[in-house]
Structures are given as structure tokens and as C-alpha cells.
Amino acid sequence: MHHHLSPSNNWTDTLTAIGTLLAVLTTVFFFLYERIKNYLNRPVLKLDINMAPPECHKTTAMSGQKLFSAFWFRLYVKNNGKSNATNLEVIIEKVDKLVDGKWITFPGFLPSNLVWTHINEPNLKNLLPGTTKNVDFGSILDPAGRLSNPAERNMDHTNSMTDNVFRVNISIQPFNAYNIIEPGDYLFHLIAGASNSEACRSKFHLSFKNA
């Protein structure tokens, strides 16, 4: 018994296979295209500091019922990408202190959010491409002003109320005031992130002493 293959059936099978392959390739192409497009147009964050006015400058601050001299420090976050960054936060991951020539973890400092300048909130809803927003980093208040502000005393350290201290401007004021940093050399490890962007990490060295 002989079987004869129909040419029309061969062509149909071939065209069906080619059509299936083209459909798969088209799906893969558009998937990769969207992934590449989204990557090229993604937000790209930069976290840095400009040690000059108006971001870092001498000003006055209210303590009690009086004004005192203060030094104020702000960081900035810039979106160098091509699309909006959304739901941005800046977090201090940890703090190191230089002790006897070695960097050790500053005890008691918990990972904490900084707040955005002017809105005093830890979350920034939107940052447009090519734009910059400031984040409040911290301040050094005239020690005379600290006497009327017990919140500027870190209970876990021995700094006197007449010492200079750096007050890190985190989103809460903790009971033990771990955000009050006594004179010394410090290395702050920070991360800026958004819900639709890769995280950006930076380190900032702070050194100060009593006058």
C-alpha cells in the first residue's frame, strides 16, 4: 500500500510553522523593545551636596523664644534620567565614627529617613527629569540656644549642653535623640531611591569640633 503526500498539505504546514515563528519573534521583539525603551528612559538619581549657599549656609534658628546663630546643611537629589521619578526617599543607612584612626559604627544610630526641604516630609511624590530638590541634612545650633532645647541632648553620649552638636534632621525626633551627634569625624552612608528607579548610594564625611 502506498501513501502519497499532498504538496498542498506540505505548504500549509510550512506556512503555519512560519506564521507561528513570526508571531513568537514579533512578541519577543516588542517585549525587548519595551524593556530597552524603559531602560533608556528610566529616572537616574544623583545624591550629592553643594558646600555653598544657599544649600549650606549660616542662618538663624528659633530656640525657646530667642533667635540664635546656626549653620544649616542640605543635600540635593537630581533626576538625570528621561522620565519622572516617583515616591522618592533619602535614608541614612548607617553612620561611622573615626576612633583612634579606625572607622567604627556609631552606636545607637538607626536607619532613618531625612525630610525634603520646604515640605518637611520623608516622601517626595514626583521629581521631573532634569530637576533638583533639596533634602534637609542637619544643622549646628549655637550652644547657647541648646540650653533652652533639651531635645538637643543625646542621652547615650556625654556631650555637654554647651558643646557644639550636629542635629541630623530625620523625619522623627527619637526619645533618646540618637540624631544628636557630638563633635568628631563621621562618615554618613546614605541612599536615595524611588519606586521606579535604581537606588543611588553616597557617602558624606562630616568633621567638626567645639569652638
Q: Which long-range contacts (CB under 8 A, 24 or more apart) does 102-111 make?
A: 103/187, 106/181, 106/186, 107/156, 108/154, 108/156, 108/176, 108/178, 109/178, 109/179, 110/174, 110/178
HSE-up of 211 (CA within 13 Å, CB side)? 7
| C-alpha grid cell, residue 1 | 500500500
Region 170-196: what's the mean pLDDT? 93
Q: Which CATH superfamily is domain 45-208 in?
A: Immunoglobulins (2.60.40.10)
How much is the pLDDT for 146?
A: 76
Convert the pLDDT of each residue in 19-60 to its tens digit. Answer: 776 666 666 655 554 555 555 568 999 999 998 999 999 998
Cell numbers linked to 135: 533634602
* CA–CA gap between residue 151 and residue 11 (Å, rounded): 84
Residue with cell 534658628: 61
Residues 131/46, Cβ–Cβ less than 8 Å: no
| Percentage with pLDDT > 70 across the chain | 76
Convert the pLDDT of each residue in 115-168 to its tens digit: 999 999 999 999 999 999 999 999 998 888 777 776 666 655 555 667 888 999
- Which H or E run contains 146? helix 143-146
Residue ranges per domain, the chain? 1-40, 45-208
